[in-house]
Amino acid sequence: MAAKDKLIIFDTTLRDGEQSPGASMTRDEKVRIAKMLEKMNVDVIEAGFAIASQGDFEAVRSVAEAIKDSTVCSLARAVKGDIERAAEAIKPANSGRIHTFIATSPIHMQYKLQMEPEKVLEQAVAAVKLARNFTDDVEFSLEDASRSQFDFMCRIIDAVITAGAKTINLPDTVGYAVPDEYGSMFGRLLQAIPNADKAIFSTHCHNDLGLAVANSLSAVMHGARQIECTINGLGERAGNAALEEIVMALKTRKDFMPVETHIDASHIVPTSRLVASITGFPVQPNKAIVGANAFAHESGIHQDGILKHRETYEIMRAEDVGWNTNKLVLGKHSGRAAVKARFSALGLTFESDALFNEAFIRFKALADKKHEIFDEDLQALVTDSSVESEGNNIQLAELEVVSKSGQLPVAT
Ligand code: KIV
Ligand code: ZN
C-alpha cells in the first residue's frame, strides 16, 4: 500500500473558537487548553489574535512560552501593526507561525474592505513579505475564499506563494459551500497555479449548514493537507469543523482516506471536557465522539447486539477517544439481555426464569415512568427472597452499564 501523506492538524479553539460569543478565555485558561492540545500532538495551535487586546497578546505569548512540541500561531490582518504584534507575541515559541489574511470575495472587497481587487492583491503580498522578516512559517488566508472568483484567487495565491507564504488557507468563512464544490475548488486551484507545489493548501470550514467536517474531508480528497478545526466544533456562529470528528473519521475510515494524522485520540474526551468547562459551553449529549450518548445504547435490539459482538453497533471504541468504556443505559427500550446482565453485574441472580420474568415486568413498568433506570432502582425492584445475592459480582466483559451518577467516567 502506498505511504499516506501527513495531514497537518491546525487547532484554532483558542482563536476562532474563542470568537464564539460568550466563549472568551483568560491567559491561564488558554495555556491549560494549549497543553492538552500539545499532549494530543496537534501540529499547530492558533493561540489568539495578538492585536485584538493586551490580554490576547499576553495569552499568545504565554502559550508560545509554554508549548514546546507544537507550532504556536497568531492571527494578523494583512496590515503592518497586526503583523508586528503577532511577531512579538510568538517570539518565545520553539516554532512560531504568523497567519495573515485578507478577504478576496467581491462582496467583502466591495462592502467591507471598500478596496479594489488590485489593491487587495498588493496588500496581501506586502503582508506576506513583512511577515517573512519574522518567521519562515507564514500562512496566508483568502477570507471568504468559497465565494471568491477563481481567476482572482489564482493570481493572489501565485503572488503570495512567490512572496514566501508556506501555507495557503481557503476558508469557507460563512459556511456556504457544499462538499463537492469545496473539494473541487482545491483540485482546480492546485492544478491551475504553477507554484502550488511550494505550499500546503489548507481547509477552514464553518458549520452554518452543518457541512464543516464534510467540506474539510472533501478538500482533503482533492489535495488539501492541512485542516483547521476546533475542539467540540466551537467557533463563530454555528462553529467550526470539529477536530474530534475529523480525526476519528480519518482513523475509522483510513481505508478510504489518502492521509493520516499524528493525533493521539485518547486525549480527545478529556480535552473536550476541559474546553466545555472553561468556556461554559456544554457538549450536546448526541454530539459525535464527545457527547455523553456517543457510545451509549438503550434499545433492546442494540444492547443485545452489543452484548454478543461489540461491532454490531459500534464503529469505534469508546476507550480509543478517552472514555473509560461504552455504556448500556437501562430504559424502557432495553431488552432482557441487558437487564439480566446488569442484575448479574450487581451480584443478583435469579433462581428461575419465571422469577426473572417477574422482575423484568416490574422493570418495564418502572421504565415507563422514568427516563433511566439506575442500579439502586434495580436493587429496589428485587428486594424479596426470590433473588440470591452473590458475593462475587459477575463481570461483564468490557461493558460497564451505567454508573450511579449516570455519568460516564473520563480517562485521565
Ligand atoms: O473564517 C475565516 O475566514 C477565518 C479567517 C480569519 C481565517 O477565521
Ligand atoms: Zn473562521
Q: Which atom of ligand 1 is nearest to the CA of 16?
A: 8
**What is the percent of the chain where pLDDT is above 90?**
91
- Determine whether the shortest distance from the Cβ of 171 to ligand 1 is under 6 A: yes
Q: Examine the pLDDT at 397 and tell me if it is beyond 60.
A: no
Ligand 1 contact via 101 beta carbon (within 6 Å): yes
Q: Looking at the DSSP assignment, which residues form a beta bridge with residue 8?
A: 226
Cβ-based neighbour number of residue 362 at 10 Å:
15
Nearest CA to ligand 1 atom 5: 143
Stretch 194-207: mean pLDDT: 98
pLDDT in tens, 159-177: 999 999 999 999 999 999 9
Does position 202 have pLDDT exceeding 50, yes or no? yes
Q: Taking the chain, what is the end-to-end CA distance rounded to the nearest angstrom?
A: 35
Residue bearing the CA closest to ligand 1, atom 1: 173
Assess contact for 315 and 252: CB atoms under 8 A.
Answer: yes
Pocket test for ligand 1, best of 13, 102, 141, 167 (most atoms within 8 A of CB): 141
Is the Cβ–Cβ distance between 170 and 201 less than 8 Å?
yes
pLDDT tens across 86-145, in order?
999 999 999 999 999 999 999 999 999 999 999 999 999 999 999 999 999 999 999 999
pLDDT of residue 388: 54
Q: Which of 15, 49, 75 to mutate to test the pocket of ligand 1 (most atoms within 8 A of CB)?
A: 75
Q: Is the pLDDT of residue 396 over 60?
A: no
Ligand 1 atom having least distance to the Cα of 103: 3
Q: Is 244 helix (H, G, I), strand (E, B) or coil?
A: helix
Place of cell 474546553: 275
Q: How confident is the prediction for the chain on average, in pLDDT?
A: 93
Please report how many Cα atoms fall inside a 13 Å half-sphere around the Cα of residue 340, on the Cβ side.
15
Confidence category of residue 387, pLDDT binned at 50, 70, 90: low
- Let me know: does 211 contact 250? Beta carbons within 8 Å: no
CB 324 within 8 A of CB 292: no
Q: Compute the average pLDDT of residues 228-244.
A: 98
Virtual torsion, Cα 11, 12, 14, 19, nearest 10 deg:
-160
Q: Please give the model's pTM, rounded to 2 decimal places.
A: 0.92
Query: CA 247 → CA 7, 156, 172, 211, 289, distances in Å?
Result: 10, 31, 19, 16, 10
pLDDT of the residue at 401: 39
Among 281, 263, 259, 262, smallest CA distance to 272 is for: 281
124 neighbors 115 (Cβ within 8 angstroms): no
261 lines ligand 1 (CB under 6 A): no
Ligand 1 midpoint to CA 78 (Å)? 13
Residue range 227-235: average pLDDT? 98
Angle at 339 between CA 335 and CA 342, to 5 degrees: 150
- Average pLDDT of span 139-161: 98
Q: How far is the CA of 5 from the centre of ligand 2 (A)?
A: 25
Range 13-22 average pLDDT: 96
Task: Name which residue sits closest to atom 2 of ligand 1, judged by CA.
Answer: 173
Stretch 9-33: mean pLDDT: 97
Residue 2: band (very low, low, confident or very high) from pLDDT cuts 50, 70, 90: confident
Residue 384, pLDDT > 70, answer: no
Q: Report in angstroms the alpha-carbon separations of 191 from 114, 143, 196, 284, 287.
A: 31, 21, 8, 41, 37
- pLDDT value for 382: 84
ipTM over 0.90: yes
232 lines ligand 1 (CB under 6 A): no
Q: Does any ligand 1 atom lie closer than 6 A to the CB of residue 172?
A: no
Provide the pLDDT for residue 404: 36
Which ligand has an atom closest to residue 49 CA? 1
pLDDT (0 to 100) of residue 408: 36
Q: What is the mean pLDDT of residues 194-221?
A: 98
Residue 145 alpha carbon, nearest atom of ligand 1: 3
- 143 pocket-lining for ligand 1 (C-beta < 6 Å): yes
Task: Look at the chain and count its residues.
Answer: 412
Q: Which three cell numbers, joined as nine digits, stand for 404? A: 450511579
* pLDDT at residue 285 is higher than 70: yes
